[in-house]
Amino acid sequence: MTRTEVLVIGAGPAGIAAATAAAENGCAVIVLDDNLSAGGQIWRGATVQETGSSSRGNTTKRRALERLRRSGAQVLGGRCVFSAEASGMLQTLQETGSGSLVEQFHFEKLILATGARERFLPFPGWTLPGVFGAGGLQSLMKGGYRVAGKRVVVAGTGPLLIAVATHLAQEGAVVSSVVEQAALAQLAPFAASLWAHPAKLVQGARYRAKLWKTSYRIGCWVLEAIAGSDGQRLGAVRVTDGTRTWTEPCDLLACGYHLVPNTEIAQLLGCELPGDFVQVDKTQRTSLPNVFCAGEPTGIAGLEAAMVQGEIAGLACAGVSSAPLQKRAAAERAFCDGMEKAFALRRELRSLPRPDTIVCRCEDVTFGSLHGYTGWTDAKLQTRCGMGPCQGRVCGPAVEFLLGWRPVSVRQPLFPVPLQAFCFQDERVEINKMNEPIKEKA
């Protein structure tokens, strides 16, 4: 059992900024993340000690990690938060070499900086080997997956597509096209609004310059992923603009439909979520007085928003005014609203899955088998949709878009936990691979 003044969940840019600000202003801070090292999605694989060659060229990341290290905040990686109570306690699961370790953390103030995940929409062939999420493929590349010489189509929606396509090109892949489902009329006002965000405009222009050989197909979407001559792996994709349909040969498809905020812990705690996002005030305080939230769970707005919101939350925990930062945060919020409108999903995507298209990959539930049910709970009970290891994180947002069903509640454990761990909940108990406790209850 560990006690701390400020506990931060998530060591992405928002969590790093929050922990740093709180610790620099005198708070005892612990940061928990399910990844082994700090960095979150965008700086994945960074180490807190990192100041050397791999972070050279990315000053923001290097500075943020260096400041975090100097602040004295303690980062505990490999801890997945699976339950939480607003009264000031949460539990984590850590996979160790010998088994699973459950730990309890008690806090006075909690900062949720849990980020977002990709939205996947099912279409025929999306389970073929060679089809990846766009961010998923990028994460694999950051982990050493080689794409050099591979023909790749990047598809779906959102600014992440361009970032991923650029990364693929830098790694030597041949990115034949970026297929963006949003229509030009939707994108144009957003593009125009970028003049108010010069840094983002420059970044976008840089990305585009690196993709000069790649076609950027606006208002188009992938209808189907088709197996190659071996009948096993991806060989091509069928793409449409709503009028014409064509086939593009490829070895890999990187396909993601913008991001979904990770709000499960906030929901579990009982924070207000008027829509998809956690409600916060100017100091990033949620509807619960001791719980703050920063970054993607409060709105998908990118790196700068995550960092400024994180800093505000950290300062608030330390009782320091963040007034000078709040104007910047408000501007980033406006950017977030623009992005939501620009990359709103077109209704044609609802008709992509066929009856035999798998929707829930964990439990092999097809689209056809979901028909005839009245809602998420009904379908879940009868088909097991959303009951697998990901607990509906992948199929939930897809089903919501396709059928309009929303999960009615969030329950702990948020992630599968070995059952025996609960028998010794009041102790720090290590469970071995046979689910036996290694340290006996005192």
Ligand X SMILES: Cc1cc2nc3c(=O)[nH]c(=O)nc-3n(C[C@H](O)[C@H](O)[C@H](O)COP(=O)(O)OP(=O)(O)OC[C@H]3O[C@@H](n4cnc5c(N)ncnc54)[C@H](O)[C@@H]3O)c2cc1C
Distance in angstroms (rounded) separating the CA atoms of residues 17 and 81: 20
For residues 294 and 263, is the Cβ–Cβ distance under 8 A? no
Q: Does 296 bind ligand X (CB under 6 A)?
A: yes
Of 22-30, 31-39, 273-281, 402-410: span binding ligand X (CB under 6 A): 31-39
Nearer to ligand X, 2 or 139 (CB): 139
Chain position carrying tokens 């329950």: 411
CA distance 309 to 293: 8
Q: Which helix (H) or strand (E) holds 131?
A: strand 131-132
Helix, strand or coil, per DSSP, at residue 59: helix
Q: What is the Cα–Cα distance from 242 to 218, expressed in whole angstroms?
A: 11
Residue 391 contacts ligand X per CB under 6 A: no
Q: What is d(CA 83, CA 91) in angstroms, rounded to the nearest whole number?
A: 5
Q: Please choose, out of 170-178, 241-249, 295-303, 334-342, the segment that lies near ligand X by the rule CB under 6 A.
A: 295-303
Choice between 16 and 379, CB closer to ligand X: 16
Q: If you compute the radius of gyration of the chain from its CA atoms, what whole number of angstroms results?
A: 22
- Interface residue with ligand X among 7, 8, 11, 402 (CB under 6 A) is 11
Of 72 and 78, nearer to ligand X (C-beta) is 78
Query: 99-138 mask for ligand X (x: CB under 6 A)?
Result: --------------xxxxxx----------------x--x
What span, in angstroms and rounded, lies between the C-alpha atoms of 288 and 286?
5
Shortest separation between residue 190's beta carbon and ligand X, angstroms: 16
Q: Is 316 exposed, middle or buried (0-12, 13-18, 19+ CB in 10 A)?
A: buried
Could you tell me which stretch among 6-14, 234-242, 372-380, 426-434 binds ligand X (CB under 6 A)?
Answer: 6-14
Residue 166 Cβ, how far from ligand X at the closest point, in Å?
A: 9
Which residue's entry shows tokens 């999605």? Answer: 41
Name the one range near ligand X by CB under 6 A: 64-72, 217-225, 299-307, 325-333.
Answer: 299-307
Among 7, 14, 178, 421, binds ligand X (CB under 6 A): 14
Output the six-digit token pair for 371: 């028909």
Q: Give me the 134-163 binding string for ligand X, x by CB under 6 A, dash otherwise.
A: -x--xx--------------------x--x
Structure tokens at 78: 């490999």
Q: Is 261 in the site for ligand X (CB under 6 A)?
A: no
Answer yes or no whether residue 13 interacts with ligand X by CB under 6 A. yes
Q: One symbol per residue from 68 to 97: x for binding ligand X (CB under 6 A), - otherwise; what is it?
A: ------------xx----------------
The bridge status of strand 29-32 relative to strand 2-9 is: parallel
* 396 near ligand X, judged by CB under 6 A: no
- Angle, CA 210 vertex, CA 206 and CA 216 arms, to 5°: 95
Q: Say if residue 122 is preceded by a cis peptide, omega within 30 of 0.
A: no
Q: Which is nearer to ligand X, 300 or 379 (CB)?
A: 300
Is residue 251 within 8 A of residue 151, CB to CB? The reply is yes
What residue ranges bind ligand X (CB under 6 A)?
9-15, 32-35, 40-42, 80-81, 113-118, 135, 138-139, 160, 163, 259, 262, 265, 295-296, 302-303, 306
